[in-house]
Amino acid sequence: MATVDQVLSQAWAVHQAGDFNAAQQLYRKVLDGHPENANAWCYLGLALHDQGRFAQAIEAYRRAIGIKPDYPIAYNNMGNSLQRLGEFGRSLASYREALRLKPDYANAYKNMGTLQFWQGFFDQAAEAFGKAIELNPANAESHKSLGIILLLQGQFERGWPEYAWRWKTKDLKRPDYAQPRWDGSSLAGRTILLHAEQGLGDAIHFVRYAAVLKQQAGRVIVQCHKALVPLLRTCRGIDQLITFNSKPPDFDVYASLLDVPAILKMDLSSVVAGVPYLSADESLIEYWARELHSCPGFKIGIVWQGSPQHKADQRRSIPLEQFAPLADTAGVRLISLQKGPGSEQIPAFAARHALLDLGPRLDESTGAFMDSAAVLKNLDLLITADTAMAHLGGALGVRTWLALAQVPDWRWLLGRDDSPWYPTMRLFRQKSAGDWPGLFQEIVEQLKSELADRTEGQAADSTPHIPLSGFNELVRSRHGMMLYNKNDRYIGRSLKAYGEFSEGETALLRQIVKPGHVVVEAGANIGAHTIPLARFAGERGRVIAFEPQRVVFQTLCANVALNGLSNVECHHAGLGDGVGTVTVPALDYRQENNFGGLELGGHQHGEATPLVTVDSLNLPRCNLIKLDVEGMELQALQGARRTIQQHQPVLYVENDRDKHSAALIELIQSFGYDLYWHTPPLFNPRNHLQNPKDIFGGVVSVNMLCLPKSANASVAGLRPITSLDSNWRRGPPSEP
Quick: pLDDT tens for 232-250.
999 989 999 999 989 999 9
Give CATH for domain 283-455: 3.40.50.2000
Using a 10 angstrom Cβ sphere, with 0-12 exposed, 13-18 middle and 19 or more buried, the burial of residue 686 is: exposed
Q: Where in the sequence of the chain do the CATH 3.40.50.2000 domains occur?
A: 283-455
Report whether pLDDT(13) > 60.
Answer: yes
Specify the amino acid at residue 360.
P
Mean pLDDT of the chain: 90
Mean pLDDT of 269-298: 88
Mean pLDDT of 427-434: 93
Those residues whose C-beta lies under 8 Å from the C-beta of residue 355, and which sit 6 or more positions away, are: 327, 334, 335, 336, 346, 349
For the domain with range 191-270, which CATH number is right: 2.40.160, 2.30.240, 3.40.50, 1.10.10? Answer: 3.40.50
What is the number of helices (H) and of strands (E) in the chain?
28, 24
Report whether pLDDT(455) > 70.
Answer: no
Angle between helices 106-118 and 122-135 (to 10 degrees): 160
Cβ atoms of 262 and 188 within 8 Å: the answer is: no
pLDDT at residue 600, as a whole number: 67
459-496 tens-digit pLDDT = 444 456 677 767 888 988 888 889 998 888 899 999 99
CA distance 230 to 278: 11
CA distance 464 to 691: 13
pLDDT at residue 602, as a whole number: 62
Mean pLDDT of 299-307: 94
CA distance 281 to 306: 24
- Of all helices (H) and strands (E), which one includes residue 652? strand 650-654
Mean pLDDT of 32-53: 90
418 DSSP assignment: B
CA distance 388 to 122: 26
593 DSSP assignment: B
306-329 tens-digit pLDDT = 888 777 778 899 999 999 999 989
Mean pLDDT of 693-698: 90
pLDDT at residue 462, as a whole number: 47
The backbone torsions φ and ψ at residue 573, rounded to the nearest 5 degrees and listed phi first, read: -165, 165
pLDDT confidence of 211, banded at 50, 70, 90?
A: very high
pLDDT confidence of 365, banded at 50, 70, 90?
A: confident
pLDDT at residue 460, as a whole number: 41
Mean pLDDT of 35-55: 91
Cβ atoms of 525 and 547 within 8 Å: the answer is: yes
118-130 tens-digit pLDDT = 999 999 999 999 9
pLDDT at residue 463, as a whole number: 56
Max Cα-Cα span within the chain: 108
Cβ atoms of 544 and 519 within 8 Å: the answer is: yes
pLDDT at residue 736, as a whole number: 43
Cβ atoms of 704 and 514 within 8 Å: the answer is: no
CA distance 448 to 331: 9
CA distance 281 to 288: 11
Those residues whose C-beta lies under 8 Å from the C-beta of residue 523, and which sit 6 or more positions away, are: 546, 547, 596, 627, 628, 629, 630, 654
332-341, 357-366, 453-462, 547-556: range with lowest mean pLDDT: 453-462
494-503, 589-598, 691-700: range with lowest mean pLDDT: 589-598
- Length of the chain in terms of residues written: 736
Report whether pLDDT(204) > 50.
Answer: yes
152-173 tens-digit pLDDT = 999 999 999 999 999 999 888 8
User: Hey, how many other C-beta atoms are within 10 angstroms of the C-beta on 287?
Assistant: 16
Those residues whose C-beta lies under 8 Å from the C-beta of residue 134, and which sit 6 or more positions away, are: none
pLDDT confidence of 599, banded at 50, 70, 90?
A: low
CA distance 10 to 374: 55
Cα-based distances in Å from 503 to 352, 703, 736: 30, 13, 11
In CATH, the architecture of 500-721 is 3-Layer(aba) Sandwich (3.40)
Give CATH for domain 4-168: 1.25.40.10
548-587 tens-digit pLDDT = 888 999 999 999 999 889 899 999 998 988 998 888 887 7
CA distance 509 to 505: 6
SS3 302: strand
pLDDT at residue 727, as a whole number: 87
